[in-house]
Structure 1
Amino acid sequence: MCLKRALTCILLLLSATVFSQSVIRINQLGYQPNGIKVAVWGTKENVVPAAFELIDSATKKVVFRHSTGKKFGAYGPFAHTLRLDFTKYKTSGVYFLRAGNAVSPSFKIHKDVYKGTADFTLRYMRQQQCGFNPYTKDSCHTHDGYTLYGPMPDSTRIDVVGGWHDASDYLQYSTTSANAAFHLLAAYRDFPNVFGDAHQANGLEGKNNIPDVLDAARWGMDWLKKMHPKDDWLFNQIADDRDHRGMRIPKEDTFYGRGFERPVYFCSGKPQMRKDLLNETKGVASTAGKFTGAFALGYKVFKDIDPDYAKSLYNKAFTAYEMGVKQPGVHQTASVVSPYIYAEDNYVDDMHLAAAELYSLTKQARYKNESLHFGRQEKITPWLGKDTAKHYQWYPFINVGHYALGKYNAANKKEMAGYYRQGIELVWKKAKNNAFYRGIPFIWCSNNLTTSFAIQCLWYKDLTNDTAYDELMQANLDWLFGCNPWGTSMVYGLPAWGDTPVDPHAAFSKIGNMPVDGGLVDGPVYTNIYKNLIGIRLVDEDEYADFQSDLAVYHDDYGDYSTNEPTMDGTASLIYLLAAMENQNQPVKKKP
């Protein structure tokens, strides 16, 4: 048990009587002066305060007092909940809230509360590097790999060294990596002035006159190029669930019967192994579309930085797209010893984005029309408004194509924004009934869905200038940084002074004693999901026991891979969201 965890447990024991009865949950990063500012009060008692106060931490003077407003009733572990809205107060400073006998932690109101957060979160992307890893200052998985399911003989040697490990295991997936690369590129495209330059291309410290976010994006793009080595070759993943033989610092693995080589699964468009079953692969387009989107955006971002490199991305964008056109359908991941896979069940959203990005490069009517065709087949991402979904069933959790086509083609902006609004409304119908404005299902990787939904609200606003969903968007962001029943940030080390994960399901922290700074953990799951997962056992006493409920659980515990494992793709999406928030108080300087 680490020192921080021990101290936390002591503090919790000392304050158990008050702490377990009434609490105020805040965004621990703080609040922007001109932004939405709401905290959530919850209690296990039956007394509900009629008013709350905002108090200056230095002077202890009340600077704002307001009624608590609508009673939201029970939620999770709480018998009663309230939204404490102090948006009208705009003076910068350090404050805390008081409602009844509950007092919040101190927090800032300042325009720079998000400053540096996107760059901080990039630390996790560098830690996930495969090939050369700047944290171990060594290389791993340098023998990847041997092919399976391809047009070449099985076990053909191919060089696919590089990219990112997917999570705290060392599998690598093309779909999550392409989505991550796209979000990093989009973050730079939309908010270039947010990012600094403190690292080299390989992730080691040192300036190279390239923003760190682009160094990270290029690390992923270089690997995607290797995974699409020929016009009609596309690979879907490296390694499989045989990887899950215990935590270890990344080096070389010998689990696959070919020495240090790992299997490289070809996008065959046909079902592949899934324990004693086959997965439900029907085509290639779900992977190919994501490749195209990343390659096309990569070309636009890099064309003035490295023209030759950008040209190689340009060509691969078109060849990947044609593979998707010729082989429509989803390509799911493969597993060997367990039933868990990324069970993606949609592809038209990926081809929608792909065609929109190609239209932005060529202005050819073909790509605009094909983007419309694909986009109208999935107007609303299917998980929106639902209570459950399979693992990664509707990936990447947001229809990025709607935003792309709306931005690139004014004639379709209103239509694309309308689809976003319909999806947001489905979530809002659920969210408006609870104090946390929570309308996201507690499925595996719920934090990834939360991040993507917040981005959808942002993109809707960008397309329409409609501010109707600002408070809903902010509630989802606040949730990630402590305004949730457990009162904890879901990002390792952010903020440094806050309650954040200290014992994630991660080898770097558990074995290597290295912080997994910036990693967004999976997030809470339905209690009934948690109880039925294989191989979960808490290592330490649950410091959040008072706030678990029949609805959902979250454990800051190494033994809980379902709620406390950081993920690379979720973190990449969060980088975009944090960059957007920081950019709100900086001059706009758009890149093409």
Structure 2
Amino acid sequence: MKRIFLLTGILLLIICFSFKKETGEQNWIRINQLGYTPEGTKVAVWCSKENKLPAFVDLVDAATQQTVYRITGLQPFGSYGPFNQTSRIRFTSFIKPGRYFLKAGNTVSPAFKIDEDVYKGSADFCLRYMRQQRSGFNPFLKDSCHTRDGYTLYGPMPDSSYVNVSGGWHDASDYLQYTTTSANATWHLLAAYQQYGHVFTDTKTANGLDGKNNVPDILDEAKWGLDWLLKMNPSDNIMFNQLGDDRDHMKMRIPKEDTNYYGRGIERPVYFVSGKPQVRGKFMNATTGVASTAGKFASTFALASKVYEKTDAGLSKNLYQKSLAAYAYGKKMPGVAQTASVKSPYIYAEGNWVDDMELAAASIYQANPEKQKAMLLDAYTYARQEPVTPWLGKDTAHHYEWYPFINLGHAVLANDLPKPQRDTIHDFYETGIKAVWNKAKQNAFYRGIPFIWCSNNLTTSFAIQCLAYRKMTGDDSYTELEQANIDWLFGCNPWGTSMVYGLPSWGDTPVDPHSAFTHLKQYPIDGGLVDGPVYTAIYKNLIGIQLNEPDEYAAFQSDLAVYHDDYGDYSTNEPTMDGTASLIYLLAAKEAEVNPIPGWHTDDYYKADLHTITESRALLRGDSTRKKIAFVFTADEYAEGLPLIQKTLVDEHVKASFFFTGRLYRKRAYQPFIKELYRQKHYLGPHSDQHILYNDWKNRDSMLVTRDSLENDYYNNVEAMNALGLWNNNRQEYFIPPYEWWNKRVGKWFAEMRVKLFSFTPGTRTNADYTWPEMGASYKSSEALIDLLRSFEVKHTLNGAILLIHAGTDPRRKDKLYAHLPSMIKELKAKGYDFCTIDRL
């Protein structure tokens, strides 16, 4: 039975009720059992075997039993898997830390936290599984295994020659070991240390036993994998691809109990990277070269060289030289090196290799940018050969066909390229994300990952691609999709279970995985990521699967996909070492990015959801659950209304935002008013220096400026503000485009500059106050504009609205909208609206 964290009193009843899987239940609410960060995306999923949606869902404080937030207007997503109706329950804008549950009628979710610490220690926790997978000396067992690996096959040396390759990690619940998965795992651990090392602790020595050695445990574990890879690549032209084969699968046993499975006592075969097909049961595999393996060696050695650059110069130099040799070997023999299988048809059928060589070239460049500039061109050339990892957006693929499951080289390469090429790489990543999004947006779980073998590994990798794209570009358009894939791994899925053994400790997690450790010895495999759901059609055609206990998830199996927490199901419930390593990187990134907004009031429990109301990467409206409005005043040539606007804001005790062009900031006649606005703590920002038009009016995708000219214009605007002492380097910068006209590429450029693009809320119409009578039908009087605003408010409310008014207009317009500002503010106040600056909306 599943782990249940027992609380007292009413909370105990709530959690127990929500975790039960009684056949009489018809409705469920699926959540991320780890919890949600205050500033992060927060979504649960309503699931019903009836065809109904609740009118509302309440967020309830678990301690007080009081409703603190209500979600209304749920949108139906229709059937999915075992459910007839589903919907996304969004509560992103609620940010008060605490412990809560969701309730709709008699349907109650498990309790969960909203807190900054929900990911704290999770990456370290998953390192437990990596240590448990160690071959050679195993710190969990405090014993050694596989000490006589191994004897060679397919190499230039005589078959059965002994070579010392003891060490590394067992691949999964079997004890095979692959360069392919081990190099990828080592790379992820090294990258986690390099980028997020501060989130890891030091509680273990290098051999994995308790103690401290002044090295974060993540680096100790990466070094364990790295040392084995060095053994598997003992010299420039000697590489091994695999240790052991599927003869390992004869029966389950603890690793130290390995006996004569291969006819050589406790020695196991080690397969040379020959570049030619090797045994695959009755067939041969489809090996065509060595580059897929050589590239993985090269990228991991290059990254490790950079990591050890300051702490172990000798090791760093050796690793750098080995990365160059491995890369050259890959270039000499392009193609894929697949794994070998003696008895069964199942192998790692890798089908691509240019992604591995791209990552290798990019990593070598970063290890020595002064001497390896040519590697940038190499990496970019490889990048263009496989812009999108082929499985993205597809329904199926062969087992490990497109491995690693995303092109990590794109993320490593992009920032070192010139801007046009960098944009191309960003587009490659976004194209892959969009391909998944086009499938995901059709269901309430935002599930666009195919249910093939190791679907959880694909899910983890795709979340990393979304995260990398967001970090590279500043584009948060896919944040909810990114989080949906993380939520899926921790319980927001049809089965309502975490896919990580023991994480969280109070949740519904695997307890009967396909593992000798748990099955034979009842040892926990803390932190292990299991394979995950597969298509039902795949499951029904696999060899040798038989469930050993009644299926506690029977109510949630469907013709679409199955998942079983049962030792007998090796297809969905077997943990994998490489998937866990990728998850460690992802969880470290999630823990590291928690960064509360400075100065945010502790009693202000709601924050604008900037992710859900965007167009071309710009904010168009704030939180639609709060009665707050942001007045934004822009000006270029004319600003005659500033004195009246300023006086009105003082009289009404209202803060607003002002965005002026550089040439207006330079006009001496307006500078006293501008400085006074700044002193009164209104928000002042840029509106382009010369009010240039970025893209064609008729063809929005057609650019009229280069990136350099746009940036120069923007920074000239900033310099004009600096000259008046108006710039604040410690705040989030906002920018409204000239003419309020831009496209997605412009949005991307500003996102990379870490500038938040925004514009007026469509439909509010106050922005048309620049028109004058001679413009004919385009002209709108102030009275007409105010009536249009009132109509909008009745239909849509003005919650979170951005209202644009020009601080000055062409002299041909005599009817100035800003002259009506006092009455507008009074009318809106009477309806309960408050006012804030754009950065507080």
* TM superposition score category, shorter chain reference: over 0.9
**Residue 365 of structure 1: CA displacement?**
2.9
Amino acid at match of 1:360: Q
**Residue 511 of structure 1: CA displacement?**
1.2
**Residue 213 of structure 1: CA displacement?**
0.3
> In the aligned structure 2, how far is the partner of 1:437 from the partner of 1:546?
21
User: Which of the residues 182, 186, 189 maps onto 2:191?
Assistant: 186
> In the aligned structure 2, how far is the partner of 1:192 from the partner of 1:501?
28
What residue is the counterpart of 1:215 in the other structure?
Answer: 220
Q: Secondary structure at the match of 1:511?
A: helix
User: Which of the residues 387, 390, 397 maps onto 1:389?
Assistant: 397
What residue is the counterpart of 1:278 in the other structure?
Answer: 284
What residue is the counterpart of 1:483 in the other structure?
Answer: 492
Gaps of 5+ in 2: 6-15, 597-841
CA contact under 8 A between 1:40 and 1:84: conserved in structure 2? yes
What residue is the counterpart of 1:536 in the other structure?
Answer: 545
Note if 1:580 corresponds to 2:589.
yes
**Residue 491 of structure 1: CA displacement?**
0.1
CA contact under 8 A between 1:48 and 1:100: conserved in structure 2? no
Amino acid at match of 2:335: G
User: Which of the residues 183, 193, 199 maps onto 2:204?
Assistant: 199
What residue is the counterpart of 2:171 in the other structure?
Answer: 166
RMSD (CA atoms): 1.6
> In the aligned structure 1, how far is the partner of 2:416 from the partner of 2:363?
8
What residue is the counterpart of 2:626 in the other structure?
Answer: none
Amino acid at match of 2:341: S
Q: Secondary structure at the match of 1:390?
A: coil
CA contact under 8 A between 2:2 and 2:509: conserved in structure 1? no
**Residue 306 of structure 1: CA displacement?**
2.0
> In the aligned structure 2, how far is the partner of 1:288 from the partner of 1:473?
31
Q: Out of 358-367 and 311-320, give the one that drifted further.
A: 358-367
> In the aligned structure 1, how far is the partner of 2:425 from the partner of 2:271?
35
Deviation per CA, 1:248-283, whole angstroms, max 9, x where unpaired?
110133111112110000000000000010000000
What residue is the counterpart of 2:474 in the other structure?
Answer: 465
Q: Out of 306-315 and 142-151, give the one that drifted further.
A: 306-315
> In the aligned structure 1, how far is the partner of 2:117 from the partner of 2:2?
31
5 Å matches for 1:91-240?
91-240=96-245
**Residue 45 of structure 1: CA displacement?**
1.1
What residue is the counterpart of 1:300 in the other structure?
Answer: 306
Deviation per CA, 1:529-585, whole angstroms, max 9, x where unpaired?
000000000011100000000000000000000000000000000000000000012
Deviation per CA, 1:448-489, whole angstroms, max 9, x where unpaired?
000000000000011100000000000000000000000000
What residue is the counterpart of 1:249 in the other structure?
Answer: 254
What residue is the counterpart of 1:500 in the other structure?
Answer: 509
Amino acid at match of 1:275: G
CA contact under 8 A between 2:53 and 2:74: conserved in structure 1? no
**Structure 1 233/14 Cα, relative in aligned 2: closer, same or farther at 3 Å?**
closer
Q: Secondary structure at the match of 1:244?
A: helix
Amino acid at match of 1:300: K
**Residue 510 of structure 1: CA displacement?**
1.2
What residue is the counterpart of 1:75 in the other structure?
Answer: 80
Q: Secondary structure at the match of 1:191?
A: helix
**Structure 1 455/12 Cα, relative in aligned 2: closer, same or farther at 3 Å?**
closer
**Structure 1 529/80 Cα, relative in aligned 2: closer, same or farther at 3 Å?**
same
CA contact under 8 A between 1:68 and 1:83: conserved in structure 2? no
What residue is the counterpart of 1:563 in the other structure?
Answer: 572
Note if 1:336 corresponds to 2:342.
yes
Q: Which of the pair has more CA radius of gyration?
A: 2
CA contact under 8 A between 1:32 and 1:113: conserved in structure 2? yes
What residue is the counterpart of 1:590 in the other structure?
Answer: none
Deviation per CA, 1:480-507, whole angstroms, max 9, x where unpaired?
0000000000000000000000000011
Q: Out of 114-123 and 295-304, give the one that drifted further.
A: 295-304
Deviation per CA, 1:17-73, whole angstroms, max 9, x where unpaired?
553x10000000000000000000100012321211101011111100121421000
Deviation per CA, 1:502-539, whole angstroms, max 9, x where unpaired?
00001111112210000000000000000000000001
**Residue 399 of structure 1: CA displacement?**
0.1
5 Å matches for 1:381-460?
381-411=389-419, 412-460=421-469
CA contact under 8 A between 2:23 and 2:555: conserved in structure 1? no
What residue is the counterpart of 1:366 in the other structure?
Answer: 374
Amino acid at match of 1:361: A
5 Å matches for 1:500-519?
500-519=509-528
**Structure 1 139/30 Cα, relative in aligned 2: closer, same or farther at 3 Å?**
same
> In the aligned structure 1, how far is the partner of 2:384 from the partner of 2:50?
49
CA contact under 8 A between 1:68 and 1:82: conserved in structure 2? no
Q: Out of 10-19 and 476-485, give the one that drifted further.
A: 10-19
**Structure 1 15/379 Cα, relative in aligned 2: closer, same or farther at 3 Å?**
closer
What residue is the counterpart of 2:732 in the other structure?
Answer: none
CA contact under 8 A between 2:2 and 2:510: conserved in structure 1? no
Q: Secondary structure at the match of 2:229?
A: helix
**Structure 1 14/468 Cα, relative in aligned 2: closer, same or farther at 3 Å?**
closer
Q: Out of 94-103 and 129-138, give the one that drifted further.
A: 94-103
Amino acid at match of 1:417: H
Q: Secondary structure at the match of 1:294?
A: helix
Q: Secondary structure at the match of 1:315?
A: helix
Deviation per CA, 1:336-369, whole angstroms, max 9, x where unpaired?
0000000000000000000011111232232111
**Residue 4 of structure 1: CA displacement?**
7.8
CA contact under 8 A between 1:49 and 1:68: conserved in structure 2? no
> In the aligned structure 1, how far is the partner of 2:2 from the partner of 2:244?
32
User: Which of the residues 376, 381, 385 maps onto 2:384?
Assistant: 376
User: Which of the residues 311, 325, 334 maps onto 1:319?
Assistant: 325
Deviation per CA, 1:89-134, whole angstroms, max 9, x where unpaired?
0000000001233110100000110000000000000000000000
**Residue 310 of structure 1: CA displacement?**
1.9
> In the aligned structure 1, how far is the partner of 2:418 from the partner of 2:144?
47
**TM-score of the superposition, structure 1-length normalised?**
0.96
**Residue 2 of structure 1: CA displacement?**
9.2
5 Å matches for 1:2-17?
16-17=22-23
Q: Secondary structure at the match of 2:415?
A: helix
> In the aligned structure 2, how far is the partner of 1:15 from the partner of 1:484?
14
What residue is the counterpart of 2:60 in the other structure?
Answer: 55
**TM-score of the superposition, structure 2-length normalised?**
0.68
**Structure 1 13/152 Cα, relative in aligned 2: closer, same or farther at 3 Å?**
closer
What residue is the counterpart of 1:259 in the other structure?
Answer: 265
Q: How many residues align?
A: 582
**Residue 13 of structure 1: CA displacement?**
11
> In the aligned structure 1, how far is the partner of 2:502 from the partner of 2:168?
24
Amino acid at match of 2:506: W
Q: Secondary structure at the match of 2:58?
A: strand
> In the aligned structure 1, how far is the partner of 2:99 from the partner of 2:18?
24
Q: Out of 38-47 and 561-570, give the one that drifted further.
A: 38-47
Gaps of 5+ in 1: 588-592
